Amino acid sequence: MVDIRAHYRSTTDAYPSGVYRVVGTGNPVALLRVTDDDGRRRHTGHLERVPEDDLADHFEPADDPDAGLDPIGGLRNALQGLYWQIRTFF
Average pLDDT, the chain: 86
**What CA dihedral angle connects 46, 7, 3 and 68, to 10 degrees?**
-120
Per-residue confidence at 23, pLDDT binned at 50, 70, 90?
very high
Give the whole-angstrom CA distance, residue 36 versus residue 42. 6
Instruction: Check residue 60 and give its pLDDT.
Output: 95
The pTM score is 0.71
Lowest mean pLDDT segment, chosen from 33-37, 47-51, 65-69 = 65-69
Give the sign of the dihedral formed by CA 75, CA 76, CA 77, CA 83.
Answer: positive
Lowest mean pLDDT segment, chosen from 44-53, 57-66, 68-77 = 68-77
